[in-house]
């Protein structure tokens, strides 16, 4: 027992717990990016090189803004700016001018996130805020939906338009299924299977419900998104649109509602943004059901064919209130003065 | 080994976490006696409550088992010599809890047989019930589950809160630790004898032993050795941290919810660790006071992990030496389990009554990761076993709003570490809460 053991060169002194789960914020963010890959590939498959260009432009806008103005020097590594860029790109039409996509990314990250104090501090989903900005600034460009053409290599619109110039090219455009049904005098109802698989016109990521669903389920299984949110949104949309359809107030069947427009992308990827959604499960249900109701109302009675973006942004603003209203009740809390909650013998 | 039981349908509690168990390192290693060291350091404060009052002076010759310090109040405890030798001094010495503490230093007699001095103890069945807790107090018994609360205090619940069930805690939910597991496997008769004595002290007849199903052999042994004349139930529990916390154990086994801010006695339950009851049995069997216990020495930073019977006061350096020393990548030394244990800065600190484990973690086991901003994922809320909002409290702690934290039930936090464990941004939540409590008590004292 005489031999004194040499201490290790460095002894760490840390507070408990001394072990941590392998989960990390960066890992969550990058697995979201990974799960978006099939959707991105599909959008390029459907819309050709234009899709890739739009995505690259919006991602570039986000990454450059984050690098220049971000709160931490290594904030690109956490992957959140990358997600914002990809999601923003996915809710733009393929023929969108690249400078606008870039500007949308700059606005989304700059004014959607960094001005609030960076990662974790923002109130609104940065990608949706970027899109809302573009919608307000360039209402025509953002609703010019290209159709699929025989030539995969052809650009789908005026991607290379210069800033502040009017569009020159004559792109072949088509209405989205939602717009067609809402505004056309003699609407052609898009078959559900096309909606589900994605061979329709619309923004890049609004096309294939199937792939978004797969990506979302992958994330939910890995615990990287709170499944309560998409499930409550989808259930709510289906229920409310079913109700209004049944009452004869709405031209949209519930199934059509579910698989058209940006609902899938919004429900699985935008509303589930951890920073801008409630922290408790009860809160998530309130959040999701409200989004679903707002989507249905905007789609049926609003001035726009699509309402997912505004529904989510509106509910983002209410998240602090939802959080306050749905605080967990501490273990052994005493209800009123009647004694312990569940003093029962099993 | 018996197969692990199915975990569905097992009672448990809500929330909690599943850290990697890492119990295989030592669970199969029978306990062995650590050689007596050259020097023993016995802090006067090894328990919750007032430090004990030293009864010896430098130069005194003492035998193993002698009282060297007496309880200095009701919530206090006796300290006994854990080896025979000569008192060298009473001085401040590094304590595992951090600060220097008054401690009795004993030069261990190298020629002593280290047999315990015979001590007359009345037969447990013949003395009045109150005298049982008196004897337990004099034997220096404190809770061995980690908190080191003097046992005799627990044995006298308030008169208006009668206890009707004794919960014996064999869940050992901290990763790595296997000392309770080994106690149940090697000394089931002592565990049961202790239960018998505690039941008599309380004047009740029912006891439930809760054991997590990752110890199927312990469940089997405890079932096979259960005495027929006692109302004993061996209850397998789901493997989940912190299953061994008093409130969680009571909830899982009886469904009773201990009201916030109240003691288990308020729902008629009393929790004792299996190692504690085993030590009670020894008091009335051989007169041996609480002077040693089984301690798990584990982690990938130590060459020979194992379970050891170690006399209290043995210095960390002696334990490390007996276990083959450190490995190349040893990085952190922890007293207790990895979830709630305390990092050690000195190899001079002594082993205490409540030291259930000594972990030497390698670099890979305790990687330091960068702290990122909170992304409000809510994982901490899903993990918190007492249903607090660590996310909100963490944000308040960072801006020093301690009073608001108190309003958000900071006082209910058990510092179990679940929130810190799950946080993907590596925010040290439970550390923030521990510090906030200190700040808050200073504010309130001012």
Per the domain annotation, does A332 fall within a domain?
Answer: no
Partners of B79 in beta bridges: B69
Is A278 in contact with A233 (CB distance < 8 Å)? no
CB pair distance less than 8 Å for A14 and B379: no
Q: List, in order, residues 6 or more apart from B280 with CB less than 8 Å away.
A: B136, B139, B141, B151, B193, B194, B197, B198
Using CA atoms, how far apart are residues A314 and A307, in angstroms rounded to an integer? 11
Can you give the pLDDT at residue A149?
65
| B421 closest CB neighbour out of A19, A26, A333 | A19
How high is the pLDDT of residue A6? 61
- Report strand pairing: B39-43 vs B269-273: unpaired
Residues of A in contact with B263 (CB under 8 A): none
What is the maximum alpha-carbon separation in chain A? 96
- Please enumerate in sequence order all residues whose Cβ is within 8 A of that of A185, keeping only pairs 6 or more positions apart, or say none: none
Structural domain contains residue A5? no
Which of B345, B368, B391 is where one domain is finished? B368
Q: B396 lies in a domain?
A: yes
- Same domain for B281 and B190, yes or no, is yes
Here the tokens at position B190 are 């002592």
- Same domain flag for B299 and B431: no
Domain identity same for A64 and A149: yes
Q: Determine the structural domain holding residue B394 and report its residue range.
A: 379-445
Q: Which residues are CB-neighbours of B99 under 8 A, at least 6 positions away? A: none
Q: Is residue B104 part of a domain?
A: no
| ipTM attached to this prediction | 0.84
Kindly state whether residues B219 and B328 are assigned to the same domain: yes
**Both A97 and A239 in a single domain?**
no
Domain presence at residue B73: no
Choose the closest CB to B389 out of A17, A21, A327: A327
Residues B232 and B278 in one domain: yes
* Domain end call among A123, A151, A174: A174
Phi, psi (deg, nearest 5) at residue B102: -60, 130
Chain A positions in Cβ-Cβ contact with residue B365 (cut-off 8 Å): 18-19
Element (H, E) at B271: strand B269-273
Closest residue to A16, CB basis, from B331, B368, B417: B417
Three-state secondary-structure class, residue B205: coil
**How far away is chain B from the Cα of A180, in angstroms, using its nearest Cα?**
38
Average confidence (pLDDT) over A11-18: 86
Among chain A residues, CA nearest to B343: A13
For residue A123, list chain B residues with Cβ-Cβ distance below 8 A.
none
Residues B352 and B436 in one domain: no
Same structural domain for residues B237 and B386?
A: no
User: Is B226 within a domain?
Assistant: yes
Q: Over the stretch A260-286, which tens digit does the pLDDT of each residue have?
A: 878 999 999 999 999 999 999 999 999
Q: 3-state class of A285 per DSSP?
A: helix
Question: Is the model's pLDDT at A1 over the cut of 70?
Answer: no
Q: Tell me which of A300 and A160 has the higher pLDDT.
A: A300
A323 pLDDT higher than 80: yes
> Is B7 a member of any domain?
yes
- Average pLDDT (A25-37) is 92
State how many domains chain B has. 2
Tokens 């025989």 locate to A150
Q: Do B367 and A20 touch (CB under 8 A)?
A: yes
**Residue B166, phi then psi, degrees to nearest 5:** -95, 120
SS (H, E, C) B34-80: CCCCCEEEEECCCCCCECCEECCCCCCEECCCCEEEECCCCCECCEE
Helix (H) or strand (E) holding B307: strand B306-311
Note whether residue B333 is domain-resident. yes
Please name the member of A20, A71, A120 whose beta carbon is closest to the beta carbon of B374: A120
HSE at residue A30, side-chain half, CA atoms within 13 A, is 10
Location of structure tokens 């559900």: A192
Residue with tokens 């004990």: B52
Tokens of B2: 């018996």
Which residue, B328, B348, B368, sits at the end of a domain? B368
Burial environment of residue A198 by CB neighbours within 10 A (0 to 12, 13 to 18, 19 or more): buried
Q: Identify the CATH number of the domain in which residue B167 sits.
A: 3.40.50.11540
**Chain centre to alpha carbon of residue B440:** 26
Residue A339 predicted with pLDDT over 50? no
Would the CA dihedral through B331, B333, B336, B339 be positive or negative? negative
Residue A336 in domain: no
Which region holds residue A157: left if phi is over 0, alpha if psi is between -120 and 50, else beta? left
- How far apart, in whole angstroms, are the C-alpha atoms of residue B124 and residue B126? 6
Three-state SS across B319-382? HHHHCCCECCCEEEEEECCCCCCEECCCCCCECCCCCCEEEEEECCCCCCCCCCCCCCCCHHHH
* Domain end (from A144, A174, A204): A174
A232 falls within a domain: yes
Q: Minimal Cα distance from B380: which residue of A? A: A279
Answer yes or no: is A80 within a domain.
yes
Shared domain check, A153 and A184: no
Same domain assignment for residues B408 and B333: no
* B253 and B352 inside one domain: yes
Of B225, B174, B99, nearest to B339 by C-alpha is B174
The answer to whether residue B85 is domain-embedded is: no
- Report yes or no on B235 lying in a domain: yes
Q: Do B322 and B179 lie in a common domain?
A: yes
Q: In terms of domains, do A223 and A148 share one?
A: no
Q: Which of A9-13, A55-59, A110-114, B403-407 has the least mean pLDDT?
A: A9-13
pLDDT digits (tens, 9 = 90+) for A154-209: 776 677 776 766 554 455 566 677 777 776 666 666 777 777 766 666 777 776 78
pLDDT of A297 > 60? The answer is: yes
Residues 6 or more apart in contact with residue B71 via CB below 8 angstroms: B50, B52, B53, B77, B78, B137, B150
* Residues B422/B383, Cβ–Cβ less than 8 Å: yes
For residues A93 and A290, which has the higher predicted lDDT (pLDDT)? A290
Contacts for B233 with CB less than 8 Å, ≥ 6 apart = B206, B207, B208, B209
Sign of the CA dihedral with B6 first, then B12, B18, and B19 last = negative
Note whether A268 and A146 are same-domain residues.
Answer: no
Question: What is the structure's pLDDT at A5?
Answer: 52
Q: Indicate if B137 and B238 belong to the same structural domain.
A: yes
A92 class by beta-carbon count within 10 Å (0-12 exposed, 13-18 middle, 19+ buried): buried
The last residue of a domain, from among B368, B403, B419: B368
CA distance B50 to chain A (A): 25
Q: A181 and A104, same structural domain? A: no
What is the structure's pLDDT at B56?
A: 95
pLDDT band at A12 (very low <50, low <70, confident <90, very high): confident
Same-domain pairing of B210 and B252:
yes
**CA geometry: angle at A193 spanning A191 and A198, to 5°?**
100
Domain boundary among A142, A159, A174: A174
CA distance A206 to B273: 58
Q: Residues A106, A60: one domain?
A: yes
Residue A19: which of B247, B365, B372 has the nearest Cβ?
B365
Specify the pTM: 0.88
Q: What is the pLDDT of residue A338?
A: 38
pLDDT in single tens digits along all 446 residues of chain B: 455 556 667 888 999 999 999 999 999 999 999 999 999 999 999 999 999 999 999 999 999 999 999 999 999 999 999 999 999 999 999 999 988 999 999 999 999 999 988 888 888 888 888 889 899 999 999 999 888 999 999 898 888 888 999 999 999 999 999 999 999 999 999 999 999 999 999 999 999 999 999 999 999 999 999 999 989 999 999 999 999 999 999 999 999 999 998 889 999 999 999 999 999 999 999 999 999 999 999 999 999 999 999 999 999 999 999 999 999 889 999 999 999 999 999 999 999 998 989 999 998 888 878 899 999 999 999 999 999 999 999 999 999 999 999 989 999 999 999 999 999 999 999 999 999 999 999 988 87
- State whether A124 and A212 are in the same domain: no
Q: What is the dihedral of CA A217, A222, A227, A229, to 10 degrees?
A: -100
Residue A124 lies in a domain: yes
Contact B338, B19 (CB under 8 A): yes
Do both A232 and A319 map to the same domain? Answer: yes
Q: Are the C-beta atoms of B287 and B116 separated by less than 8 Å? A: yes
Contact predicate B425/B374, CB 8 Å: yes
d(CA B383, CA A279): 12
Cα–Cα distances (Å) from A230 to A233, B51, B182, in that order, read 5, 57, 47
- What local confidence, expressed as pLDDT, does residue B118 receive? 85
Does one domain contain both A196 and A296? yes
In chain A, the number of structural domains is 2
Question: Which residues in chain B have their CB less than 8 angstroms from residue A78's CB?
Answer: 372
CA dihedral A225, A199, A260, A249 (to 10 degrees): -160
Question: Measured between CB atoms, which of B325, B333, B339 is closest to A16?
Answer: B339
Q: How far apart are CA B346 and CA A7, in angstroms?
A: 9
The sheet carrying B357-362 orders its strands as B32-33, B306-311, B292-298, B357-362, B330-335, B342-343
Strands (E), B118-251: 165-169, 206-212, 231-237
Size of interface A-B (CB pairs under 8 A): 206
A261 shares a domain with A156: no
User: Which chain B residue shows the shortest CA-CA distance from A274?
Assistant: B377
Is residue A188 domain-shared with residue A245, that is, in the same domain?
A: yes
Are residue B155 and residue B290 in the same domain, yes or no?
Answer: yes
DSSP structure class, residue A275: G
**Closest chain B residue to A80 measured between Cα atoms?**
B375
Kindly state the DSSP code that residue A205 receives in the 8-state scheme: G
Residue B54 to residue B5: CA distance in whole angstroms: 49
DSSP state at residue B236:
E
Q: Which residue of B has its CA nearest to A334?
A: B259
Domain of A147 in residue numbering reads as: 24-174
Angstroms from A341 CA to nearest CA on chain B? 7
């Amino acid at each position: 027992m005489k031999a004194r053991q040499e201490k290790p060169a460095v002894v760490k002194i840390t507070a408990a717990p001394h072990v941590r789960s392998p989960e990390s914020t960066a890992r969550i963010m990058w697995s979201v990016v990974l799960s978006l890959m099939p959707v991105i590939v599909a959008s390029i498959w459907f819309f050709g090189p234009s899709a890739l260009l739009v995505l690259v432009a919006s991602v570039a806008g986000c990454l450059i803004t984050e690098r220049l103005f971000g709160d931490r020097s290594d904030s690109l590594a956490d992957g959140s700016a990358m997600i914002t860029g990809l999601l923003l790109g996915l809710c733009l039409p393929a023929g969108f001018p690249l400078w606008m996509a870039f500007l949308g990314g700059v606005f989304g990250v700059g004014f959607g996130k960094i001005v609030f104090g960076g990662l974790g501090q923002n109130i609104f989903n940065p990608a949706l805020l970027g899109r809302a900005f573009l919608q307000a600034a360039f209402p025509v460009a953002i609703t010019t939906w290209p159709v699929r053409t025989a030539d995969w290599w052809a650009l789908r619109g005026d991607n290379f338009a210069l800033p502040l110039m009017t569009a020159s090219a004559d792109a072949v455009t088509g209405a989205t299924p939602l717009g067609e049904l809402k505004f056309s005098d003699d609407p052609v109802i898009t078959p559900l299977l096309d909606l589900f698989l994605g061979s329709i016109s619309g923004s890049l990521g609004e096309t294939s419900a199937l792939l978004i669903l797969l990506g979302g389920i992958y994330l939910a299984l890995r615990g990287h998104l709170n499944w309560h949110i998409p499930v409550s949104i989808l259930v709510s949309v289906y229920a409310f649109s079913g109700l209004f359809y049944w009452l004869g107030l709405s031209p949209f069947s519930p199934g059509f509602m579910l698989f058209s427009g940006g609902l899938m992308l919004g429900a699985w990827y935008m509303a589930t943004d951890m920073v801008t959604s409630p922290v408790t499960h009860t809160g998530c249900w309130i959040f999701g059901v409200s989004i679903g109701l707002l989507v249905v109302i905007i789609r049926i009675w609003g001035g726009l064919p699509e309402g997912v973006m505004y529904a989510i942004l509106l509910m983002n603003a209410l998240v602090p209130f939802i959080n306050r209203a749905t605080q967990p009740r501490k273990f052994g809390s005493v209800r009123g003065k009647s004694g312990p909650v569940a003093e029962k013998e099993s | 080994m018996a197969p692990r039981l199915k975990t569905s349908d097992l009672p448990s509690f809500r929330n909690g976490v599943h850290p990697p168990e890492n119990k295989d390192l030592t669970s199969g290693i029978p306990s062995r006696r650590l050689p007596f060291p050259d020097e023993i350091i016995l802090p006067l404060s090894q328990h919750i409550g007032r430090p004990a009052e030293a009864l010896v002076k430098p130069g005194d010759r003492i035998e193993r088992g002698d009282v060297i310090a007496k309880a200095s109040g009701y919530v206090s405890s006796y300290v006994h010599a854990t080896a025979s030798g000569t008192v060298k001094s009473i001085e401040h010495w590094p304590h595992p809890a951090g600060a220097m503490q008054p401690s009795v230093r004993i030069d261990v007699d190298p020629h002593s047989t280290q047999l315990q001095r015979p001590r007359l103890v009345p037969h447990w069945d013949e003395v009045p019930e109150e005298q049982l807790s008196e004897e337990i107090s004099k034997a220096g018994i404190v809770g061995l589950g980690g908190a080191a609360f003097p046992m005799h205090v627990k044995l006298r619940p308030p008169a208006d809160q009668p206890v009707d069930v004794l919960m014996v805690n064999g869940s050992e939910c901290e990763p790595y630790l296997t000392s309770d597991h080994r106690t149940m496997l090697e000394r089931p008769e002592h565990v049961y004898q202790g239960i018998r004595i505690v039941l008599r002290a309380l004047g009740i007849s029912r006891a439930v032993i809760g054991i997590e199903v990752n110890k199927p052999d312990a469940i089997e042994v405890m079932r096979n050795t259960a005495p027929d004349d006692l109302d004993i139930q061996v209850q397998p529990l789901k493997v989940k941290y912190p299953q061994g916390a008093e409130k969680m154990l009571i909830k899982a086994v009886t469904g009773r919810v201990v009201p916030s801010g109240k003691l288990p006695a308020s729902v008629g339950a009393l929790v004792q660790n299996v190692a504690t009851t085993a030590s009670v049995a020894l008091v009335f069997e051989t007169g041996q006071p609480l002077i040693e216990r089984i301690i798990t020495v584990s982690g990938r930073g130590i060459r020979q992990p194992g379970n050891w019977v170690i006399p209290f006061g043995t210095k960390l350096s002696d334990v490390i030496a007996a276990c083959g020393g450190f490995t190349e990548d040893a990085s952190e030394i922890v007293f207790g389990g990895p979830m709630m244990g305390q990092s050690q800065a000195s190899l001079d600190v002594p082993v205490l009554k409540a030291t259930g484990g000594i972990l030497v973690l390698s670099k890979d086991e305790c990687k330091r990761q960068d702290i990122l901003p909170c992304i409000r994922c809510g994982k901490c809320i899903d993990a918190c076993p007492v249903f607090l909002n660590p996310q909100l409290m963490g944000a308040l702690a960072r801006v020093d709003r301690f009073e608001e934290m108190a309003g958000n039930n900071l006082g209910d936090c058990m510092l179990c570490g679940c929130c810190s464990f799950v946080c993907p941004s590596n925010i040290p939540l439970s550390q923030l809460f521990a510090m906030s409590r200190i700040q808050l008590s200073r504010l309130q004292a001012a």
